[in-house]
Structure formats: C-alpha cells, structure tokens
Amino acid sequence: MLKPMWRFTPLFLLALACGESAEAYVWDLPPGFPEPRVPEDNPMSEAKVELGRRLFYDTRLSGNETQSCASCHLQSLAFTDGRVQGVGSTGEVHPRSSMSLANVGYAATLNWANPLIRELEPQALGPLFGETPVELGMAGREDELVARLRGELVYQELFPEAFPEQEDPFTVSRVLAALAAFQRTLISGRSPYDAFTNGDSDASSESAQRGAELFFGEEAECFHCHGGFNFTASLDHSGQVFETLSFQNNGLYDLDGRGLYPTPNFGLFEFSEDRRDMGSFKPPTLRNIAVTAPYMHDGSIATLEEVIQHYADGGRNVTEGPHVGDGRLNPNKSIFVNGFELTPERQADLLAFLESLTDEAFLTDPRFADPWVETDAAP
Amino acid sequence: MKTKTIFLSLLTALGAACGDDVSQTTVSLQFALTDGDTEIGCDDLLAGVGADAVDLEVRDARFYVSNVRLVSASGEVPVALDDVSPFQISDVALVDFESACSDAGDTNTNDVVVGTVPEGEYTGVRFTVGVPFELNHIDQVVDETTTTPEPLRATGMWWNWQGGFKFIRVDLAPTPDSTSPGFNIHLGSTACMGNPLMGEDVTSCGNPNRMEVELTGFDPASDTIAFDLRAALDGALTNQNTGAALGCQSFPMDEECPAVFDNLGLPYGGVAPSGPQSVFRVR
C-alpha cells in the first residue's frame, strides 16, 4: 500500500509547482528521431492533436461537404491517394500528385515546389481556400466553416480544451493550428530498415542490405537528395539551426532542348522565374515509398521498378505524345542523376531496400485513423 | 475623432505659421464596373469580348486600391484614406463589385474610396492597384485576435499559393452556348522569394505587378472611375485555356496573359507594356 503512495508524491509536488500550466507534450519518437520544430505560437497538446485529427477527417471542411483532408491523404497509402493526380471536392483535377504526409512535420518546405510555404499552419490555407485548383473549396466561406464546426458536439468540447486561453476558440486560425498539430504527430520511423539499423540483424534481407549499399553509394548517388533520417534533403527539425531547402530536377522532361517542363508544372521556376529552376521539385521522403505509387510530382511513373529504371537511365527520354523530348539532356538536371549500371539483381536489391522503408505500424496506427468511425461505432 | 481633431489643429497651426491656411476636405472617389461605357454588375453579360469575341458573364470583380493621390495645377497631394470598416484602412481599400454571384464572395459591395485632402482645384487622380508590399505578405488568417486588417480578410482575395493577395480578381464564366472555357484575371505579385538559407518570409518580388493608374480630366466631385472589363480583355485569347490557370492568373508562360498584362500597363515575361494601362478611365 505504501509503494504507490511514494510514487505519486513527486508527481503531486510537481503538479503543485507548475500550478495550472499545461503539461509538456510527450512525443512518441522512433529511436534516433529529433523532435519536430513546433512554432512558438502553436504548442503541442494532446487535446489539440485530437482536435486536429477530428478536423483532418471531417468533410465539413469542404464547401460541398464531400471531402476532408483524408480524401486525398489516406493512412493506408502513407497519406497519399493512389491517384496520378489529386481530385478536389468539385471534381477539379489537381495538376500534381498528392504528397505523403509521413514525417511532414520535418519538411523544410511543404508542397512539391513552393519555397514560400514552410509551416503546416499556412499550408492548410492552400487546400482549404485555394481556387487554382479548387481542392476543399472553402474560399469566401470561412464564416460558414466556423458555424458548421460550432454546431458539432465533439468540437464544443475539443476546441475549448485545445485552446483553453481563448474566449472563443472557434476560428479559422485555430483550425489551422489543430490540423498542423495533428500532422506533426504523423511520424514514421519504425520500418524493417530502422529495426535493422537499430541492431535487429534479422529485420533486413541480404538483398535489401545490398540495395542499401547501392543507395548510399557514389555510383547510384540516391542519398544526395534522399539522405538523412527522413530520406530527403528537404529537412527541418527542432535541433537544426538552418532549414535545408532542396529543389532538384531529375530529368523527367525537356520539351524545348532548354529544359522546359509541361505546363503548369514548372517546379521552383513558378516562384523564382529563373530558367535554371525549371523542373526543380522537392525530393520527397522515401519512407513508405512502396505504398505511394504512382510517383513523381505529376504521377507520371507508375511503379517503383520504373522509378529505379528512370534513375539508372539518368532521366527519361519521352519519344511520343505531347511531351516529346529527352529529359536525360535537360540542362537543369541534378548532377547526381547521371545514370548507373542496373542489372536485374541490382534492380531487385534496390527494390528490396526501398520496400524495407515501409512502416506497417505507421500505416495502421489507430492514433492516425479516422476518429469519427469510432464515435459512430460506440454504443 | 480625437486624433483627427489634433491632426487638423496641427495642420491649421502649420498653415498659419506659413501664412497659407489650408483646410481639409473629404473626397469620395466613385468607382463603377463597366462594359465599355455601360455600367454592369454581377451576373451581367459581356457579349463578344476578347480577340475571340466570346460571350462571358461576370462572376467576380474586386480590386485593391492604395497610394491614392489627387492632381492639381500645383502638383499631386496624397489622399489620406479614412479608416472605414470593413472596406478600407489608411493604407488600402477594397473595391468590391461582387454581390454573391461568386461561390467565393458575399453580398457586401463597395464602390467608393473615401479620404481627406487639402481643399483645391483637382483635375486628375493617380492610384496604385494593389496591396502595399508591407501588407501583402502578412499572415493571412481570419481571426479576431490577429491584426489582419479587415479589407484583407476576404478569403476570395487570398493568394496563399503566392504568399500574398490577389490585387485584382475578375472571374468570367462562359454563357451556356459559349465555346469559351471562361476567363479569369487574377493579378498579384509573383516571383516572390525570401532568403531561403534563413527560412525567411518574402523579402522581394521579381514581378510586383502593382498597376499604376493616372487619369486626367477628372473631377472628383462629379466623375466616376470606370473599371472596364471589355478593355481588360482587349486582344486576349478568350476562347482557350493553355495553362492550368483559367484565363490569366499571373502564372509565367501563359498564352492568355500577354494581352491582359499589356492592357493593365504591366510587363509580362520580360516584355514591357506598349503603353500605360487602358482598363481604368474617367466616366
């Protein structure tokens, strides 16, 4: 009987010392992962994360109430949608492919090539209010959005819990804050590859180990753009002094011999208008890459085998259709996309390595699943 | 009120000191949306517009006005914009002809810009169409706790993708038997970059795209400033959509843009405009 008492006392004292201040948020980080960078004005809390999850899966966030964030970001597909290009709530086709949200809290920039959007809070404005293309279609309807949320019983509890210091927590900015908090918890780092590097020698096949050697070697050179714990050079976390932005051209197209990409997917050029940035996109994380087909910013490569072939070829020579041109000769192409010798064995090894980055626990983690289903099923 | 009184007394004192008493007067600049010389509004038809002479209907027409000046024989004077909720603050005003015919709009409209100038014989007006740089790249969040000024809270004017606001928003939908896909004009600053190494916000824009308007033969007491959609579309390829952005939305290398930018008196794709803007005029 005494033991529990002793255990509780220090906690009790702590609570007294801290008064009513919120408890520090406890991250569930895989071994070796740093904490994501969290904006000072949007600290993490369990209530906020839960609110964010509710909102992420709530179709009231679209104008016609047909789509939520999860419509284009499915957990089972590492929060991509399996489509070549995304489709918005009004049926408008997005020019680009839905991006994985795995480890999105560590991304230096969001979206495929937008250097202006660096934090998840403003990022959510794009899909919510953007009109070119229309995604969730809420432009001009912010009052309606807030009114819809205000009417939900779950939110009447969760909004004040998540934002206790606010007199009226029902605002668009709180929606953005909660969505960002939830997305920062979408951390994936428990793949067989991680288990292997953390000492479980049975976690990775011989083939995957050979693939890893090739991946991190100077012949295939994959790691230059897809290195580090998140397998991308576009990285930001709490311990980093400078964000590392990265936008690279991997030789998919060259329509005019001067590096032109098919409209409207010009990559970083859209923002810099510097021709050298034409066709430069962010190297996405390769974690869970085996479940996020099709690939590239425009979904133009269907399988991982073909992606490997693309890099072995040093780019893509398009010989028919509207995008004819030899991307291998694109003047803006990354110096690391030079091609390498690909044997069937090497192809299989690289594939095995990339497949070993699939984190099943992440894809099925109930903390990231649709919470409204649970509510409906509850007695 | 208090501030204004003090401001006026100071001015009077100053004027007295110089032996030149200048009293202030209110000026109300009247705007109108037009098809040529005809005033139009939401849902109205624009018959046979652009190089392809297509039929389009007005779904949205809004723009920001800043840096307003009146011109007299002795030069120009700035118009101190009144702080009038919700359409204008001292730095910028939203002129809004959209009256709920757009999904992204509402019933509120505004066709005047109100301010104060020294009394005088004014014969011209100058203004910038656009949001000043210092305001254009603020956090765009609707929230009573933030400092986002009211005219900048219209999400339909947000341009999150480019980290700024649309300076002009004109949405034109095809009529049922029109072959046109429709035509939008969304003008705003592009090629905006910060210092990537420092993770900074926008520090400059390669294409500010702020329109400079100068109208002569203008009597602020009786004349109207027309925003002529037919003139905006003059020569524009209104029967096609080559980029992903419908019409001209300031996106680089869009075939629908050169004519529109020329009409707005702005450079596009490194090509200087052939002359000053031809879209705003005295009516």
> Left (φ > 0), alpha (ψ -120 to 50) or beta: where does A288 sit?
left
pLDDT of residue A4 exceeding 60: no
**Mean pLDDT for the stretch of residues A334-355:** 96
Query: Does B51 touch chain A if contact means CB atoms closer than 8 Å?
Result: no
- How far, CA to CA in Å, does A377 sit from each of A55, A227, A370, A373? 18, 42, 12, 6
Nearest CA distance, B133 vs chain A (angstrom): 15
Sort out which chain A residues have CB atoms less than 8 A from B104's CB and list them: 131, 139-141
Same fold, A23-187 and A192-359: yes
In the stretch 84-123 of chain B, residues with CB closer than 8 A to chain A read 102-106
Q: Letter for the amino acid at A240?
A: Q
Nearest CA distance, A307 vs chain B (angstrom): 26
Give the whole-angstrom CA distance, residue B238 versus residue B179: 10
In the stretch 239-258 of chain B, residues with CB closer than 8 A to chain A read 242-246, 249, 251-254
Percent of chain A at pLDDT above 70? Answer: 92
Using pLDDT thresholds of 50, 70 and 90, give the confidence band for residue A344.
very high
Mean pLDDT over all residues of chain A? Answer: 91
Report chain A residues touching chain B, CB-CB < 8 A.
63, 95, 108, 114-118, 122, 125-126, 129-133, 137-142, 166, 168, 171-174, 176, 236, 242-243, 245, 263-264, 266, 269-273
Nearest CA distance, B201 vs chain A (angstrom): 7
pLDDT of residue A39 exceeding 50: yes
pLDDT of residue A240 exceeding 80: no
For A245-267, what is each residue's pLDDT tens digit? 899 999 999 999 999 999 999 99
DSSP for A215-251 reads: HTSTTT-THHHH-TTTTSS-B--TT-SS-B---B---
Is there a contact between A263 and B163 if contact means CB atoms under 8 Å apart? no
Out of A115, A137, A273, closest to residue B196 by CB? A115
Out of B155, B162, B206, closest to residue A142 by CB? B155
What is the CATH superfamily name and number for domain A23-187?
A: Cytochrome c-like domain (1.10.760.10)
At residue A180, the pLDDT reads 98
Sort out which chain A residues have CB atoms less than 8 A from B202's CB and list them: 116
Judge whether B30 and B46 are in contact, CB under 8 Å: no
Q: Among all residues of chain A, which has the CA nearest to that of B101?
A: A140
Out of B144, B246, B252, closest to residue A266 by CB? B252
**Mean pLDDT for the stretch of residues A100-111:** 96
Parse chain A into domains and list their residue ranges. Answer: 23-187, 192-359
At residue B13, the pLDDT reads 42
Nearest CA distance, A111 vs chain B (angstrom): 10
At residue A22, the pLDDT reads 53
- Sign of the alpha-carbon dihedral angle for A210, A216, A218, A221: positive
Out of A129, A132, A266, closest to residue B155 by CB? A129
Sort out which chain B residues have CB atoms less than 8 A from A271's CB and list them: 162, 190-193
Range from A47-61, A105-119, A144-158 carrying the lowest mean pLDDT:
A105-119
Taking the alpha carbons at both ends of chain B, their separation in whole angstroms is 34
**For an interface test with A, which of B59, B108, B138, B141 has the most A Cβ atoms less than 10 Å from its Cβ?**
B141
Which residues of chain B fall short of a pLDDT of 50? 1-19, 196-199
**For an interface test with B, which of A41, A116, A143, A234 has the most B Cβ atoms less than 10 Å from its Cβ?**
A116
Nearest CA distance, B153 vs chain A (angstrom): 9
Nearest CA distance, B30 vs chain A (angstrom): 25
What ipTM is given for this predicted complex? 0.81
Sort out which chain B residues have CB atoms less than 8 A from A127's CB and list them: none
Q: Tell which CATH classification among 1.10.10.10, 1.20.1440.130, 1.10.760.10, 1.10.287.990 matches the domain A192-359.
A: 1.10.760.10
At residue A375, the pLDDT reads 56
**Which residues on adjacent β-strands are paired with residue B115?**
B27, B81
- How far, CA to CA in Å, does A42 sit from each of A185, A327, B145? 14, 43, 14
Pairs across A and B, CB distance < 8 A:
111
For A11-23, what is each residue's pLDDT tens digit? 333 433 333 445 6
Judge whether A156 and A110 are in contact, CB under 8 Å: no
Neighbouring C-beta atoms of residue A377, cutoff 10 Å: 7
